[in-house]
Chain A
Amino acid sequence: MDELLSMLNFMGMKELEDLFSDVPGSVRKKSIGIGSGLDEHQVVERALELGRRNSTGMLNFLGNGIYDRIIPEAVNYILSKPEFLDSYTPYQPEISQGMLQSLFEYQSLISDLMAMDVTNASMYDGYSALGEAARMAYRINGKKKILIPDSTYDSKLSVLKNYVWGLNMEIIRYKMGNDGMIDLDDLSSKIDDETSAVIVENPNGYGILDKNVFAVKDIKKDAALIAYVDPISLGAVKPPGEYGADIAVAEGQQLGIPMNFGGPLLGIMSFKMDHIRRSPGRIIGESVDSNGRRAYVMTLQTREQHIRRAKATSNICSNQALLTLAASAYLSILGSSGLKKVALLTIKHSRMLKEKLSAAGIKPYFNTESFSDVMFRLNREVMEGLASRGILGGLKLTSLIKDTSLRDATFFTVTEKTDAEKIEKLAKALEVI
């Protein structure tokens, strides 16, 4: 209290209330009304008590955007370093080289993974990155039609709609064929001179690794090709840069970030070098300091909201910087060999899942190759029944896409963690519920 008084005295004030003499009486508030504070240990105990009301440690067959994957403990360790966890946007590059170099490395690692020229750092999540990609396509070609597959989930579509609402862009759905892959004839018939972007997904909303995605560059005319991909799949599967994508986007949660009930996530966005000045978000560049040493800074900031204001390429300010670090550390620890193995194990497990559930009378919807999310014909609700047996899974496609003809489609999801033993447990549980 002595400290406060001496500070007030220094300013010639009598009481703390004098600091608020500019706030009119008519808008004064007596108390907030949330009650007294707790001691630290009480807060921790209360958090633990609520945490225990969640059922964790269940066998997980849920996915469709968020996945339960191996996170090397070293990733968590690196992220918890206060110099990364509790620093701010590197506005002062001379004292922020650690974060800046790691962001530069992220841009490089993801560009290599996507086989694209450049990557920004960073977007909020996969869905908003897709929205920003559509806005970027408009900045590139000034056209207003966006084509997107029928298999895209409602929530992803809703975020996209909100992002392009202000531009009055029109979103048009194209069909998926009987094999669950893009109906190239239908797509082709919908592409015209007004098409700004064709959005493709691989794996698509049905969980399928869609070979027809690779053929879209030949029919897309002048439209931009936006590929929404699963970054883990790229350990083995053809990346967007190999099939002519102009912009590649992804959800990066799988790259070392816990599920956390779906947030925070990591939006990934890569693109061709030609488009770099039209991209949203932050970009880190290499330079030198006054002694000629290699150094990193935020660059091309004249595109950003703090300088360009109403004319900025996006409004992004706080973003997912820490989570780019998770992705970098994860990719560095796994290396090409580790990521390839994780991707191939995922495919191996989805095949095992198809075999085991088929044997139990639950047939896969399509015969095409799946990645993590595998769609089955299953006409009953199994989610709650499985949960009561300690298993999570059985998500209906209709809970993701309301207006679909595939009413009996149900997902079970695998990752590299979902081995034969776990799949066996699921198959057994499904037999009795």
Chain B
Amino acid sequence: MEFRQAYYDEPLIKDIRSDSTFSISEDVDENLLSQDLKRKDLNLPEVSEVDVVRHYTRLSQMNYTVDVGIYPLGSCTMKYNPKYADRIASYEEFRNVHPFQPESTVQGTLQVMYELQEFLKKISDMDAVTLQPMAGADGEFTGILIIKKYFEDRHEDRTEIIIPDSAHGTNPASATMGGFDVVEIPSNSDGMVDLSALKAAVSKKTAAFMITNPNTLGIFEQHIVEIAKIIHDAGALLYYDGANLNAIFGITSPGIMGFDIVHFNLHKSFATPHGGGGPGAGPVAVKAFLSDFLPVPVVGYDGRRYFLDYGRKKSIGKVSSFYGSFSVLLRAWSYVLKNGDEGLKNATIRAVLNSNYLKKKVEEYYEVPYYPLKKHEFVLSTENTGRRALDIGKYLLDYGIHSPTVYFPLIVKEAMMIEPTETVSKADLDKYADVLISALKVPEEDLKSRPRNTAVSRIDEVKAARDLKVRW
């Protein structure tokens, strides 16, 4: 398939002048406000509605979407998002609800939230859930604050959080935001946690160990039970980064593996649109002994009515303005409802099948380091090919395939991190493999001149940082 993206020399919205067509019939006196409160001038563009719509329509045509082609961006989980969920989120009955309405007038909304809490408990085998965090990293931060408060409550001075070198960058960033020191430990030759390094790092100062399983190499940490024991024996907590949770639905769960806290990335695992970067939703689930520390409110049910429950004595308080990204929660709720036990498990199986199949197709050409069996994603290295991961990624764009995540995780040189997801067909995987392999056959000069079929060609990122033009 030929891929061509539209290009418009689209002016900035401020340079489109066609007089605003927005109107409200009610009159108001221009001099209503006293002089000392008034602003001097305001220079928003004045554009007619049709020109605004055309502007953004043209811009939209210069933007890739999961509805156009595959998006195998490792660790980002860009699966196809079913359309019924968007439809449901558009209902006025949900959109038009104010957060301070009396509970009696929002029973439907509260029920959706309560049911989602229950779903998440079952999926994770944890005991209590907050839906409040607004993204995965916000969930991590919430988890970190819960850990902080828990040890404060126990009068234990634990200042360190251990994180593997393969971890998502948000893990160390969230731990530091919470005031902890980060202790990084290396992975072993199989790409898993090095148990002796872990034992050496654990001490009375350890508050928690933060990992994702499968990890960012797409490898399942097979010694997870032993890891949990090491951490718990030291009096510390085990934190599950749920970014890769969609690789284990129905197979195992954080709760069974011995984790104490987990965050979910609803926008990944539960198929809600990513919006060019968000909004997301990052609910956090904990074991019973931590449930008192969750942010307030959580949604309760007394058998008759749903209510906002503020009754948590040791709560960390709040991490966001209200109760979470409701329209994202609503989409996730509908996704779980549609899939059920079997659907979720089948999605996991297919995601893992797709990942291993694609790996097998390219492993003759690209080195795929570490333990051979992968989960929903795998990391290859382009180092053996003499080509740069970045260049190969740009080549893929010309074929209507989004580049993998490149240069992450940091422990693999010239890394390409590929996550096909369960919504990619065998035909698409075959084509993807063909294009990946053909990238090795074109002359290097050609590769450096990619992409060509996209709206613009290779962009000078250094200039952007050096000249720093960040507004009109």
B455 contacts A94, C-beta separation under 8 Å: yes
Contact with A along B35-54 (1 / 0, CB 8 A): 01111101111110100110
Which of A43, A103, A263 touches B134 (beta carbons < 8 Å)?
A263
Judge if B141 is at the interface, Cβ distance under 8 Å.
yes
Which of A32, A317, A341 touches B344 (beta carbons < 8 Å)?
A32
B13 contacts A332, C-beta separation under 8 Å: yes
Complex CA distance for A8 and B282, rounded to whole angstroms:
34
Complex CA distance for A292 and B330, rounded to whole angstroms:
44
Which of A28, A115, A251, A305 touches B173 (beta carbons < 8 Å)?
A305
Which of A54, A259, A291, A320 touches B278 (beta carbons < 8 Å)?
A320
Instruction: Give residues of chain A (304-331) contacting chain B, Cβ–Cβ below 8 Å.
Output: 304-312, 314-323, 325, 328-329, 331
Complex CA distance for A35 and B344, rounded to whole angstroms:
11
Judge if B465 is at the interface, Cβ distance under 8 Å.
yes
Please name all residues of chain B whose beta carbon is closer than 8 Å to the beta carbon of A340 when the two chains form the complex. 42
For B34, the closest partner residue in chain A by CB is A369
B341 contacts A98, C-beta separation under 8 Å: no
Judge if B193 is at the interface, Cβ distance under 8 Å.
no
From A16, A53, A95, name the one whose CB has the most chain B CB atoms within 10 angstroms: A95
A166 contacts B96, C-beta separation under 8 Å: no
Judge if A242 is at the interface, Cβ distance under 8 Å.
yes
Please name all residues of chain B whose beta carbon is closer than 8 Å to the beta carbon of A33 when the two chains form the complex. 122, 341
Please name all residues of chain B whose beta carbon is closer than 8 Å to the beta carbon of A93 when the two chains form the complex. 456, 459, 461
B179 contacts A165, C-beta separation under 8 Å: yes
Contact with B along A84-110 (1 / 0, CB 8 A): 111111111111111101111101110
A102 contacts B320, C-beta separation under 8 Å: no
Please name all residues of chain A whose beta carbon is closer than 8 Å to the beta carbon of B357 when the two chains form the complex. 7, 10-11
Which of A88, A94, A209, A234 touches B78 (beta carbons < 8 Å)?
A88
Judge if B196 is at the interface, Cβ distance under 8 Å.
no
For A348, the closest partner residue in chain B by CB is B28
Judge if A342 is at the interface, Cβ distance under 8 Å.
yes
For A111, the closest partner residue in chain B by CB is B471
Complex CA distance for A94 and B455, rounded to whole angstroms:
6
Judge if A237 is at the interface, Cβ distance under 8 Å.
yes
Complex CA distance for A334 and B328, rounded to whole angstroms:
27
B457 contacts A348, C-beta separation under 8 Å: no
B252 contacts A27, C-beta separation under 8 Å: yes
B12 contacts A105, C-beta separation under 8 Å: yes
B458 contacts A289, C-beta separation under 8 Å: yes
Judge if B154 is at the interface, Cβ distance under 8 Å.
no
Complex CA distance for A253 and B451, rounded to whole angstroms:
37
Please name all residues of chain A whose beta carbon is closer than 8 Å to the beta carbon of B23 when the two chains form the complex. 338
For B47, the closest partner residue in chain A by CB is A332
For A67, the closest partner residue in chain B by CB is B98
Which of A22, A49, A125, A238 touches B39 (beta carbons < 8 Å)?
A238
Please name all residues of chain A whose beta carbon is closer than 8 Å to the beta carbon of B444 when the two chains form the complex. none
Judge if B366 is at the interface, Cβ distance under 8 Å.
no
A290 contacts B42, C-beta separation under 8 Å: no
> Closest approach, in angstroms, between the C-beta of A390 and any C-beta of chain B?
10
Please name all residues of chain B whose beta carbon is closer than 8 Å to the beta carbon of A305 when the two chains form the complex. 137, 169-170, 172-173
Instruction: Give residues of chain B (367-411) contacting chain A, Cβ–Cβ below 8 Å.
Output: 371, 373, 393-394, 397, 402-403, 405, 408
> Closest approach, in angstroms, between the C-beta of B45 and any C-beta of chain A?
6
Judge if B225 is at the interface, Cβ distance under 8 Å.
yes
Chain A residue total in the interface (Cβ 8 A): 192
Judge if A60 is at the interface, Cβ distance under 8 Å.
yes
Complex CA distance for A338 and B28, rounded to whole angstroms:
12
Complex CA distance for A49 and B57, rounded to whole angstroms:
34
Which of B45, B108, B252, B361 touches A29 (beta carbons < 8 Å)?
B252
For B316, the closest partner residue in chain A by CB is A162
Judge if A199 is at the interface, Cβ distance under 8 Å.
no
Contact status of A289 and B457, CB under 8 A, knowing A23-B251, A238-B38, A259-B95:
yes
Contact with B along A294-307 (1 / 0, CB 8 A): 11110110001111
Judge if B454 is at the interface, Cβ distance under 8 Å.
yes
B224 contacts A387, C-beta separation under 8 Å: no
> Closest approach, in angstroms, between the C-beta of B387 and any C-beta of chain A?
17
Complex CA distance for A211 and B37, rounded to whole angstroms:
7
Complex CA distance for A46 and B40, rounded to whole angstroms:
52
B179 contacts A37, C-beta separation under 8 Å: no
For B39, the closest partner residue in chain A by CB is A238
Judge if A286 is at the interface, Cβ distance under 8 Å.
yes
> Closest approach, in angstroms, between the C-beta of B225 and any C-beta of chain A?
6
Judge if A40 is at the interface, Cβ distance under 8 Å.
yes
Which of A8, A23, A70, A320 touches B279 (beta carbons < 8 Å)?
A320
Please name all residues of chain A whose beta carbon is closer than 8 Å to the beta carbon of B339 when the two chains form the complex. 37
Which of A99, A263, A383, A395 touches B320 (beta carbons < 8 Å)?
A263
B459 contacts A27, C-beta separation under 8 Å: no
Judge if A275 is at the interface, Cβ distance under 8 Å.
no
B98 contacts A66, C-beta separation under 8 Å: yes
From B46, B49, B64, B250, name the one whose CB has the most chain A CB atoms within 10 angstroms: B64
Complex CA distance for A50 and B91, rounded to whole angstroms:
11
Judge if B464 is at the interface, Cβ distance under 8 Å.
yes
Which of A29, A57, A91, A309 touches B403 (beta carbons < 8 Å)?
A91
Contact status of A333 and B20, CB under 8 A, knowing A46-B337, A289-B459:
yes
B356 contacts A261, C-beta separation under 8 Å: no
Which of A47, A65, A107, A237 touches B471 (beta carbons < 8 Å)?
A107
Q: Which of A74-82, A139-147, A170-178, A184-192 contacts B (4 or more CB under 8 A)?
A: A74-82
Judge if A6 is at the interface, Cβ distance under 8 Å.
yes
B279 contacts A323, C-beta separation under 8 Å: yes
Judge if A134 is at the interface, Cβ distance under 8 Å.
no
Please name all residues of chain A whose beta carbon is closer than 8 Å to the beta carbon of B330 when the two chains form the complex. 47
Complex CA distance for A156 and B319, rounded to whole angstroms:
9
For B306, the closest partner residue in chain A by CB is A53
Please name all residues of chain B whose beta carbon is closer than 8 Å to the beta carbon of A29 when the two chains form the complex. 125, 250-253, 256
B94 contacts A260, C-beta separation under 8 Å: yes
A159 contacts B84, C-beta separation under 8 Å: no
Judge if B86 is at the interface, Cβ distance under 8 Å.
yes
Complex CA distance for A60 and B337, rounded to whole angstroms:
32
> Closest approach, in angstroms, between the C-beta of B44 and any C-beta of chain A?
4
Judge if B198 is at the interface, Cβ distance under 8 Å.
no
Q: A21-B373, A38-B337, A338-B22 are in contact. List 10 more A-B contacts (CB 8 A).
A: A31-B341, A32-B249, A38-B338, A82-B67, A87-B275, A127-B320, A285-B467, A287-B461, A289-B456, A347-B33
Give the 6 A-B residue pairs with the shortest CB-CB distance, closest first: A262-B322, A322-B275, A166-B179, A37-B340, A51-B93, A98-B63
Could you list 17 A-B pairs, sorted by A, with CB under 8 Å? A47-B334, A66-B100, A82-B273, A92-B393, A92-B403, A102-B59, A104-B472, A128-B321, A159-B319, A287-B463, A297-B461, A316-B137, A336-B43, A338-B22, A344-B28, A369-B37, A416-B24
